[in-house]
Amino acid sequence: MRLALLTDIHANREAFEAVLADLSQRQIDQLVFLGDIVGYGPDPGWCVDQLEALVAKGALALRGNHDRAVTTPDNVLNSNARRVIDWTVNRLNARQKLFLSELPLTIADGDTLFTHASANDPADWLYITTESTARPSFLVCDARLIFCGHTHRAALYSCDLAGRVGQINLAAGQTMPLLHSRRWLGVIGSVGQPRDGSTLASYAILDRDLNELSFRRVAYDATTTARKSREAGLPEALAQRLMKGI
């Protein structure tokens, strides 16, 4: 069974469409969305509708911190993120807001745990950026595979039988065997707002039969997304980030 893992779409229609088009050319059995369908970008309604339709067809989806902020006050977001959420709230209808509010924070599926941020405290939206910040997720659950988003940068960590955590360098397009002698934590890069210096949308494919993970990058029309962001009156800094991948 092959799973496509997508996260942090952030209301970026062009990136979302490009990834879905790329997936249509591959053998994928199920889509898994790890949260933050809205926030930052100019097309929240379209993206929520698209996700809802995919969930109706069998996709799994989680709630991210930006999704939560649409219906629940959140003082953690920075000023630009808060401004976009305030804008987003007025562009989603009641059904779309209800859909986001009912998404779970985690999904356990066999030996795999899906979450938006860290596994050790899913509702605290902790960032996994180093081996030390990855370690608590291994400590609080016994899942062999953990997948999350939130940081907008793809990364892969492993934990050996002695509890030692190490980071694995995995380039886009490279396939990594997820050896059963270790546990694994994959941080899936962002579809709609990558922050690793590349404007290419990011997602991952998990092959459960072969026990392999690969990260993928897909080109999309970031110029159009940035233009629509400016036309919507969203912060200029966000349009600049899209064009620079930061």
- Alpha carbon distances (Å) from 139 to 162, 183, 184: 12, 11, 12
Cα 233–195–185 angle (5° rounding)? 130
Average pLDDT over residues 204-230: 97
Report the share of the chain in percent with pLDDT over 90.
93
Average pLDDT over residues 138-157: 97
pLDDT at 85 over 80: yes
Average pLDDT over residues 128-132: 97
Query: What confidence score (pLDDT) does residue 184 get?
Result: 98
CATH of 2-244, one of 3.60.21.10, 3.40.1260.10, 3.90.220.20, 3.40.50.2300: 3.60.21.10
Please name which of 74, 47, 83 lies closest in space to residue 237, comparing C-alpha atoms: 83
Mean pLDDT of the chain, nearest integer? 96
pLDDT at 76 over 80: no
What distance in Å separates the CA atoms of residue 16 and residue 29, rounded to the nearest whole number? 18
Contact between 133 and 101 under an 8 Å Cβ cutoff? The reply is: no
Q: Model-level pTM?
A: 0.97
pLDDT at 73 over 80: no
Written in H, E and C, the secondary structure of 99-168 is HHHCCCCEEEECCEEEECCCCCCHHHCCCCCCHHHHHHHHHHCCCCEEEECCCCCCEEEEECCCCCEEEE
What distance in Å separates the CA atoms of residue 59 and residue 233, rounded to the nearest whole number? 32
Average pLDDT over residues 208-233: 97
pLDDT at 75 over 80: no
Crossing angle of helices 94-101/44-56, nearest 10°? 60
pLDDT at 218 over 90: yes
Report the share of the chain in percent with pLDDT over 70.
99
Average pLDDT over residues 159-176: 93
Average pLDDT over residues 192-215: 96
Average pLDDT over residues 60-67: 97
Average pLDDT over residues 194-216: 96
Confidence of residue 197 (pLDDT cuts 50, 70, 90): very high
Which tens digits make up the pLDDT trace of 8-42? 999 999 999 999 999 999 999 999 999 999 999 99
Average pLDDT over residues 114-136: 96
Confidence of residue 170 (pLDDT cuts 50, 70, 90): confident
